[in-house]
Amino acid sequence: MSKKLAGKVAVVTGASKGIGASIASHLAAEGASVVVNYASSKGGADKVVQEIVAAGGKAVAIQADVSKETDVVRLFGETGKAFGRLDVLVNNAGIYEFASLDQITAEHFHKTTDLNVLGLLLASREAVKLFGDAGGSIVNVSSVVSTNTPAGTAVYSASKASVDAITRTLAKELGPKKVRVNSVNPGMVETEGTATAGITADESGFRKMIEAQTPLGRIGQPGDIAPAVVFLSSPESAWITGETLVIAGGFR
């Protein structure tokens, strides 16, 4: 059986754990050669690469902090050297620190937006330079909070609303170059980060509240998000661009 992404090359930012790691593994399972980007968790990225290779796929880990322009340029330069081309970019790297209005500082604002917004723009800019005449696909990982906007998340929600706006804007700007741009907007997903923070612990009141408001009755897993990214990266979505796909079990 042919694989959807056979012969393609994908970069997944922030892919050492959580949603990014699952996306990288799913893309590789469909035949893509994958660049597993990480900022600081080399061990996590190496583990993702090892698992992909053990399953018969191709992957390399490349360190880069995508909030830094020089790192982004190097990331895509090394991608070109490793695989000679690029077909898919998944902008997954992000930070989800929350702060109420009285706790917001310039440092918190810039830390969040430099990674969630500027990093996405810089990575997209460099990816387009590597896409060939056939174009490519950019998939941005946004969040349901771009529209749900819970209290205490002003900066984070604003950053994800920016991702949605950028998705629609770049879809129009890059369409003539045969580059499609879409986003997936997950609800609460259980990852290493949310587990460490106690957000998704079984006894967490916040988790129970979200589950009670979710028609499907549970929070998400990384594997709930990755297949949608594969679809938006593949020829199966060839006439889809500028869209935001909410993946949240019906939570709004």
Residue ranges in the chain whose pLDDT is less than 70: 1, 197
| Contact indicator for 19, 225 with CB cutoff of 8 Å | yes
Report pLDDT digits (tens) over 1-15.
Answer: 579 999 999 999 999
Using a 10 angstrom Cβ sphere, with 0-12 exposed, 13-18 middle and 19 or more buried, the burial of residue 196 is exposed
Give the pLDDT score at 1: 58
Which residue out of 76, 98, 156, 251 is catalytically annotated?
156
d(C-alpha 110, C-alpha 100), whole Å: 15
The pTM assigned to this predicted structure is 0.97
Residue that the structure tokens 């790297």 belong to: 93
Specify which residues 153 forms β-bridges with. Answer: 99
Give the pLDDT score at 154: 97
Secondary structure (H, E, C), 81-105: HHHCCECEEEECCCCCCCECHHHCC
Give the pLDDT score at 195: 77
Domains of the chain: 9-189+223-247 (3.40.50.720)
Contacts of 178 (CB under 8 A, 6+ apart): 133, 134, 135, 136
Token pair of 39, please? Answer: 């900022």
Active site residue 38: no
Give the pLDDT score at 206: 81
Taking alpha carbons only, the member of 180, 166, 188 closest to residue 251 is: 188
Give the pLDDT score at 197: 65
